[in-house]
Amino acid sequence: MEITKATATSTLAAAIHNLSLSSLSSTIRPRPRPYSHSGFSKFPLVSRPTSLTATCSLPNETTTSTTKVAGADTSLQVKKRAADLSPELKGTSIFLLGMRGPLKTNLGKLLADALRYYYFDSDSLVEEAAGGEFAVRSLKERDEKGFRESETEVLKQLTSMGRLVVCAGDGAVQSSTNLGLLRHGISLWIDVPLDIVARGMVEDKTQLAASESHSEVLEQVVATYEELRAGYATADAKISLQNIAVKLGYDELDLVTTEDLALEVLKEIEKLTRVKKMMEEAARPF
């Protein structure tokens, strides 16, 4: 099935209709393409905190209680920082780049909730517009060009709207057209160690053939990463899971929560909006 503009638009409309609107302060609506000043992209808002991975077993109730308090405190920090940042974002959308996996998905939903944005996964929209997982795989195999064009059409529809957090699929960084579309929002590269990406794929059996081992999956992940790395590097900022773990003094990457990751993302967005504001002020005539 060819994914035309009409198909992509109706798919997005249906997806928006199915969202719970009760927690959102305003409706999503098309926005005019922002003028990109000196190639500097504009920015957006966001859905509910979830830990990136299950934490290890705790030795006693005291430790459990302390961990819950710490988690609640971090969650409040995310909400406060998001509330402070929202007026500066002015509805600019956020696009999360990087290898697909639960870490990026959970982050996107948490950001959308905290910023009171809508959350979308561009790959899921392409799949829905094509008629399901089997249909989109068939399209990709028999018509690679048509499949890429369908990814672009969905991305066009998403970038014409405001107040979105989008987990962008690999196609978003595989053409100059798509990279240009990302300039209509803030793009962030969520850099997760490839071993963790591969482990997530192995745990999600639906993505793999039953015979594939962890080493085989990791080999595929490395190859894909090398192909897409240059595209990821065009993002406005890079958020490294490993760097966050070091900064927080964690011995294991699994200890980094979605809230920890979200706080780092919001800090980077704040820096970008500050620079953008300075550039706009510098461009004003005397």
> pLDDT (tens digit, 9 = 90+) per residue, 9-59?
666 666 555 543 333 333 334 444 443 433 334 433 333 333 333 333 344
Domains of the chain by residue range: 71-266
Q: Give CA angle at 7 (139, 178), nearest 5°.
A: 70
Distance between CA atoms of residues 9 and 244, nearest Å: 38
pLDDT attached to residue 256:
94
The SS3 call for residue 115 is helix
Comparing CA positions, the residue from 137, 182, 150 lying closest to residue 164 is 182
CATH 3.10.290.10 holds for 71-266: no
pLDDT attached to residue 23:
33
Distance of alpha carbon 127 from its chain centroid, rounded?
Answer: 17
What angle do the packed helices 258-283 and 102-115 form, to 10 degrees? 60
DSSP H or E segment with residue 239? strand 237-240
> pTM (2 decimals)?
0.76
pLDDT attached to residue 213:
78
Low-confidence residues in the chain, pLDDT < 70:
1-71, 205-211, 286
pLDDT attached to residue 207:
57
